Structure 1
Amino acid sequence: MQLEIQKSTFRKLLLLGFSLVLGVLLTLPANAAQYKISLLTCDPGDELYSTFGHTAVRILELESGQDLVFNYGTFDFNTPFFYIKFMRRTLDYQLSLTTTENFLREYNYFKRNVREQELNLSPEQSQKIVAFLQTNYQPENRKYRYDFFFDNCTTRITDMMETVLGQSLKWNYPTENESKTFRNLIDEYVYTLPWSDLGIDLALGAVIDREATEAEKAFLPDYLEAAFESATIIGDGPERPLVSQNNMIYDFPETKGEGINLINPYVIFWAFAILVGILTFIGFKKKRLFKGFDITFFTVLGLLGILIIFLWFFTAHSQTKNNWNLFWAFPGHLYIAYLLFRKPNKAILRTLLLAAMILADIALIVWILGFQSFHPSILPLLLIIILRTNFLYYNLDRFNISNNRT
């Protein structure tokens, strides 16, 4: 017990000492020191939260050697109702401050590359950026409401540069780049994670299928890095590049891919569709509906529809609006499952089956006409909906439904 108290006391003293060091830097007048300011771009990791990479700002105070990183991408796991707030987009992210050594330790451990772009700023511009970050780090300013596309750890740095440098900063975006929607940009990073890709495409609506401008593409760290590389500074002498020097802090060898993983939604859903086709054929021949399958299938679709409704109407996420996956994953499918489970009113059930069939057809039209890009793996699910609703619709009277409990 005494040892634990000693350890606790030591940790508190260590934390206090570190806080005092940081406090000294943060209370220094911005014009009292010379700084080297860099953009740190970190490669994507293997976990979903790190799939898109990361961006931070490194501040090196040249005289004292203080080497710190300002990071807009942190949040507190101990926040009450963390996961509920995260899902509803009511979780606040915040600007954090740590030493460069501590910041880089994670990336070294997970073998993630880190690149540094030293900025070609005048002493006055550097001091203004430090002052901006000092102000942002004040307790009343450091928290912000995160938005994946428009207010994240990367866009915050863009905003900082534009606020501080104003008209002196010239973004020289390429004019012949390939047009990409926000969904296309996401797909570049999740194509190796098919289940994550599916989940994202199910959760995000048609609003992300619009074309992103070159400036908007810079919500991703790699694109901001490219924007910095082509940007220039004007108005205080000859036009000069924003980036004066590129450094490779970590450059790990690429790991070999694991090969084709057959446990992916494409293989699973198409195999499932083939089995359902065989089941339907057997049911037709033996005059059996196999209601147990349909009860389960339509229950799952209905629950998915409720989740889509929740994300659309009951969260602050702007990207989950206008999600036309709702046409095929419709909450009303739960009532179909309920009617199949009990002795049904066939007229109502047939009407619901016809509606489900039409909605699945509408989903295909929405997809084909480009109103929303669905994940390709849901095609077999749409075919299953159309097949089973047709089968049930035309065979409710031919087969004795009360005797078809399986």
Structure 2
Amino acid sequence: MTDPTESAGAAERTQELENQRVERVARKVELPWAYELAAAWSWRFLVIAAAAGLVFAGLSYFSVVVFPVVIALFIAALCAPLVSGLQRIGLPRKLAALAVVVGGIAVVGLLLAFVGQQVADSVDQLSGKVAGGLGEIRNWLRDGPLNASDSQVDTWIEDAQSYLQDQGKGLAGRATELGVAVGHIFAGFFIVLFATYFFLADGRVIWGWVVRIFPRAAREKADSSGQVAWRSLTQFVRATVLVAATDAIGIMIFALILKVPLVSAIGVLVFLGAFVPLVGAFASGTVAVLVALVAHGPIVAAIMLGGVVLVQQIEAHVLQPFLMGRFVSVHPLGVILGIAAGVIVAGVIGALVAVPLVAALNAVVQHLASFADPEVDDPEVDDPGDEVPGGEDPEPADPEIAAEPT
């Protein structure tokens, strides 16, 4: 008779040998650990990239609505202290917001009317200068190094006129597209107008509704992150306004000294252009150089160019480090990459909104990181993201779009 115990032991050994054989076969076909890790990262990255692509596609499709709302946020960040001040003297918040919006429209309208009047008064003088300058160019082509004959000069002028006429026909053929663009501009203006009013009047209610979209467990951190992002955006907009005003005043002073026409129009253009970081004020300042060239010749234009460069150097080495470095901790490389990405995604408007969005995102990331790493929060560091104590959950409070000035 066979011992049952020995039979059971033999069966266990047989099963163990079979398991070892299966394991050896499996090891022969399994991928190295590095490939498995790379594959795991790859498919997750593809999912995230696809989701981001869908988000950008949606934003691009609804750009007529999205960008006016973002611009309204920036305007609300700038005008919030005015609304709070009117509210402190006893004016209801909705009425204070309406007064600020109407007053802002009136100020912008008066400014544009003043600039338009100055441009209209200077058109005749500048047109005469342009005609004289074209005559000088014609004489230079004939008597200068090119030594062109009158027939050659006439041929070049006719070619230029033909090119301009062809471009004009192309523009006329695209009249429908132009009409659609004008319609979008008007629609965007009214969206900015109404969105600014409601952000100023009902910011707390709007943000409370946004917070309730998040899961209940995440509402507290979503709420505090929104407050941090709003503080960063507010500080950025105020610092940008100070920098833009300084650029405009500096270039206007040089234009006044050199007696360049259209000083007020140049100042307004430089002020608006300075909202595009790094390149906006310089690009708009070149208009002052061109006006100086037309009005007073190349020497005055060269001096005006030196003034524009000097103002830009003061901005880059004094104002930007002092204001942006103090209020918004974004590395210059982040600024450049943000502008480049904004231009690729949405052109000039993308460049306008890219840096403040990067600043707000940076503040939110630092704030959320402080929950995971208490050492990130350092009371000695002057950083917008450190205003909420790291390691402690902030008390939930709806961040008011029209917040009190910090």
Tell whether the structures are fold-level matches, with TM greater than 0.5: no
- The structure where strand makes up a greater share of residues is 1
TM-score bracket for the superposition, by shorter chain length:
under 0.3
Q: Which has the larger radius of gyration?
A: 2
With normalisation by structure 1, the TM-score equals 0.21
- Taking structure 2 as the reference length, what is the TM-score of the superposition? 0.21
Greater share of residues in helix: 2
Q: Which has the higher contact order (CA 8 A, sep 6+)?
A: 2
